[in-house]
Structure 1
Amino acid sequence: MTKNLTLFDIDTEDIQELLNRHFEDWVAFRQASTSRARHERPLLDESIHVYREMWQAFAAFCAERQLTLPDVTVTDLETFLTIRGSGPDAWRPRQTTRGPDLTARYANRYLVLINKITQFIAKREGIEPNRAALLLRERPEYRFAEAADKDPPPDYLNELQARVLIAYLTRAPQADAGEKFTWKTARDRTAVSLMLGAGLSPGDVRSLKLDGVITEGGRKAGVPWKLAVEGNGNSPARETPIADWAGRQLAFWLRVRAEQGIPGTYVFPATMKGNQWSHSRCFESSREVLENAKLGKDAGGLYKLRHTFALRQLRKGKSEEDVARWLGLLDINGMVRYRRIVISYQDVV
């Protein structure tokens, strides 16, 4: 039976458990929120996954030093950010950094997360909130980290990389090479196809339903040409077009799915029983596709596909309003990241 822990009655070995429980309580609070304010509304599954990984690293750091939230100082946070940037290891995966140090932008996001959860717990427990993260964020390198000129351009596939990936995703099984091709192989390649060819996020892929695949009205009978994607806390319901090659790949996967007799409503089920694909398995399976296509397994690689889709549409002359809607962006200002690349006339497929 789990003990009912508080900030003032705690054993050293329970610190990490308590801090991780704080995170889950904060997530539950956000997911139950009906507020439209960005800092209060429900979180995307992908965001929860990343935040949980970030917070667990912080919880491990605190447990090693016997620190509860009221104990954390500015110096502690500086030490943590230094250690966090010296990875990678099991507790320090650097998903959004380059080089040996954390970027100021990523460090600032860490401080924002720590401050939000600290404030949430303090309010719930009726205690004075720890201001260490807030104070550290006042430093110029963090205060202006989210400024437009500090926002790095999105990673994307250049024309050659995209064509190599498309060729891999759509090729027939290489029987003479002894290539193993199962229904999961077809599923995984098609999921990646929709990230690149329709701008879906991994969360969109996981939640996509069969009735959201639209074939009627397309240029070729039986080939999907757009998708109806369900909304969530941070993204409205929307329709998005599918590239011709990705539509053909989706049609192939749907035939495989039907031949296997897989039940349920999810386009990309986790098992033959039709269960929903988990975040972690979708992420790992999709990254393995990129690795097998010789594009590497670097973190953030899946969102390169979505960014490439957006840039391709903009280069084709589609409006920022249309592309933002297809991506499910609530704020069109998010398109400024792509605008700088398009204006510079860099190559995209």
Structure 2
Amino acid sequence: MNTFSKWLERPADAYREWQSFDAAGADRRPFSSRSITQHATMFDRFVRHLTNHRATLATFGAEHLESFFAEVDNRCAPGTTTRIRYAKLVDRLCRHLVEIGVRKGNPAVDFVRNEAWPDDEPQPLFLDQDADERLQAFVQPQPGDPDRECRNRAIVALLLGTGITAAEIRSACTGHLVTDAVRPHVFVPKRVARDERKVTLPGFAVPALKAWRQATLRDDDSLLFPAPRGGKVMNDMLLGLTVRDALEAIDFNAPDMSPRILRNTYARRQLLAGRSNEDVSRLLGLVSQRTVIRLRATLPNAADPLSVAHAT
């Protein structure tokens, strides 16, 4: 199979080969294996969008990019750099496809021209201690909870208690959750650029998760929180509504009411308990300490930026 055909018939393979052997960043240095994995995941999402709109890498146009970026905007919190990272990825891809003859033009150029990295990082959102404690109380199971309420309390308890991501909780299996050990925990498998890890469950999260396990009695390989109908992976919209409903129930409002705010709250709680940037980044499954450094800067009496950046 020649290169042209591979890009149209096996785009994922063609993209990985290009990233591994030919592609380079703005500094002309080859991408790291971690970056290649992240880029490949983003590329796969873009190709799925094209497939859903009956377009290929050779035929998509500006209208497909418009709908794709609208979808990205709907799934990402304001102030993040996700959109610009996708714009740069698609622009780099288009320039390569034009160079090798798969495409005749680059419809991404105008999208990149209109994007710019934010001058300042957005302020991370999190629950203050009072709201954190109210939400911890809210997730405690109540006598007579219907299955839906039992599930929702367990979802919020796991997110608030472990800081795992939306994608990680959606794909978690029943066997990954251990509530009857000396140290209850959730096992998070390796996913894209994040290594596998075990995160200890705090005491407030265990009752809701035990109640959910007892209510469902699923085998270890089944999804921990499947979609209500069909048993497939829960979608982001349902997960987001579950978190939003819980936050509204404790009278908390913020520009971003997604699972991200619970992840930030978990991380900040660990910092307040005295953990180092390195430890908290590891608990979050992150290699970079960038997120944790930003959260540490929100602590009471936080050190100056240079000291924060080097706290370990």
Give me the TM-score of the superposition, normalised by structure 1.
0.61
1:122 aligns with 2:86: no
Q: Structure 2 counterpart of 1:330, which letter?
A: V
8 Å CA contact 2:190–2:196 kept in 1: the answer is yes
**1:240 and 2:189 equivalent?**
no
2:177 alignment counterpart = 213
Q: 1:253 to 1:33 in 2, by over 3 A?
A: farther
Paired residue type of 1:161: A
Work out whether residues 207 and 276 of structure 1, in 8 Å CA contact, stay in contact via their aligned partners in 2: yes
Q: Who is 1:9 aligned against?
A: none
1:158 equivalent to 2:122? Answer no
Aligned residue for 2:157? 193
Amino acid at match of 2:109: A
- Between the aligned partners of 1:28 and 1:191, the Cα distance in structure 2 is 38
- Rounded Cα–Cα distance in structure 2 between residues aligned with 1:159 and 1:262: 36
Which residue does 2:244 correspond to in 1? 287
- Conserved in 1, the CA contact under 8 Å of 2:197 and 2:283? yes
8 Å contact 1:269–1:277 — kept in the other structure?
Answer: yes
Structure 1 segments unaligned to the other structure (5+ residues): 1-21, 60-66, 98-102, 176-180, 219-223
CA contact (8 A) 2:247 2:257 kept: no
Task: Show structure 2 runs of 5+ residues with no match.
Answer: 1-7, 21-30, 54-59, 304-312
Distance verdict in 2 for CA 1:125–1:271, change over 3 Å: farther
- SS for the counterpart of 1:341 is coil
RMSD after superposition: 4.6
**1:106 positional shift:** 6.5
Aligned-partner Cα distance in 1 for 2:14–2:233: 21
Post-superposition offset of 1:217: 4.7
Q: Give the 3 Å change call, closer, same or farther, for CA 265–92 of structure 1 in structure 2.
A: closer
Q: Report the alpha carbon displacement of residue 236 of structure 1 after superposing the two structures with TM.
A: 0.8
Task: Tell me the residue number matched to 1:305.
Answer: 262
Q: Partner residue of 2:4?
A: none
**Number of equivalences:** 276
Distance 1:169 1:217, change over 3 A: closer
* Residue of 66, 81, 88 corresponding to 1:112: 88
Which of 251, 265, 273 is the equivalent residue of 2:210? 251
Residue 278 in 1 paired to residue 255 in 2? Answer: no
Cross-structure match for 2:283? 326
Residues 340/183 of structure 1: CA separation in 2 closer, same or farther (3 Å cut): same
Q: Distance in 2 between matches of 1:301 and 1:216?
A: 29
1:238-282 deviation digits (Å, cap 9, x = unpaired): 111211101222112111122xx6785222222487543334433
Alignment of 1:10-21 (within 5 A): none
Change (3 A) 1:283 1:94: closer
Preserved contact between residue 236 and residue 330 of structure 1 (Cα < 8 Å): no
Question: In structure 1, how many angstroms separate the alpha carbons of the residues matched to 2:263 and 2:191?
Answer: 18
TM-score w.r.t. the length of structure 2 is: 0.68
2:113 pairs with one of 136, 155, 170: 136
Taking a change above 3 Å as real, the CA distance of residues 278 and 124 of structure 1, as seen in their structure-2 partners, is farther
CA shift, 1:305, in A, is 0.2
> Counterpart of 1:41 in 2: which secondary structure?
helix
